[in-house]
Homo-oligomer: A and B are copies of this chain.
Amino acid sequence: MSAEELVSFACRLADAAAEVILPHFRSQLAVENKGGAAGFDPVTVADRDAEAAMRALITREYPEHGILGEEHGTRSGSSEWTWVLDPIDGTRGFMTGLPTWGTLIGLQKGERPLLGVMNQPFTRERFVGSPVGAELRGAGGVTRLSVRACPSLQRAVLSTTAPEMFAPDELARFERVRRGARLTRYGADCYAYCMLAAGFIDLVIEAGLKPYDIVALIPLIEAAGGVVTTWDGGPAHAGGRIIAAGDRALHAEALALLAAP
């Protein structure tokens, strides 16, 4: 299998998910509460059915590949390849009608993320990262993506989903970075990592991520020239506390500020 063939298949998965999801976007959704009394974790029919559609395609075309999905769990494969799926990353944005959610489709070889797609079918934007490069496929054609230089925090645009995503000790560490940044934006979910790859955001810092929240975005960020790790500089594919930067010098500066205590 070539990288090209796998990217092409990932795009078919994105199309299949979009077909299921789009009719539900801004419809009056039947929202369930997956988190029980402890929290509010919305899951929609769109979310579950879109993942089921992608899993069916993978099972048919690549039965030897493993699958790790947000909604329907893990299926081990007989090969070193695993598809990592989040049908709607940013479910809360989806529920509130905002177009900053996306379908995340990643492919790992062993533990290493090899390619990834973020698909936003409402705005018709598809962000693709692979060994071949990072690109945006949109209504206006294909654009190569590249991070921008931003070697110092005081010039940096920082993005995170919400202050509430951090535990108290994490928030104190995050705030050290935020206070030093030029500007902080909230609420963009996976879209923020794509705008980092496109050179419009310099730094994304989050916590509590699952593997399916980040695996698909790693090849995009890296192919665009950026760096993404955990807060202690380790590999990002297992999720947790994540920092992505367009500029390596900025990554190092922020990492030092995030270090406990």
Q: B-contacting residues of A (Cβ < 8 Å)?
A: 26, 28, 40, 92-93, 95-100, 122-123, 157, 159, 161-164, 182-188, 191, 195, 198-201
Contact = CB atoms under 8 A, between A and B. Distances in A.
B100 A98 contact: yes
A20 B179 CA distance: 34
Given A162-B184, A200-B26, A123 B99 contact: yes
A201 B40 contact: no
A206 to B, nearest CB: 13
Nearest to A160: B186
Contacts of A92: 183, 185
B26 A98 contact: no
Q: How many copies does the complex hold?
A: 2
A187 B40 CA distance: 20
B187 A96 contact: no
Contacts of A40: 182-183
Contact of A98 (B97, B162, B183, B195): B195
Given A96-B201, A97-B201, 15 more contacts: A26-B200, A95-B200, A96-B157, A96-B159, A96-B195, A96-B200, A97-B200, A98-B100, A99-B99, A99-B100, A99-B123, A162-B186, A185-B187, A186-B187, A187-B188
Contacts of A184: 162, 164
A155 to B, nearest CB: 10
A85 to B, nearest CB: 24
A40 B154 CA distance: 11
A16 to B, nearest CB: 21
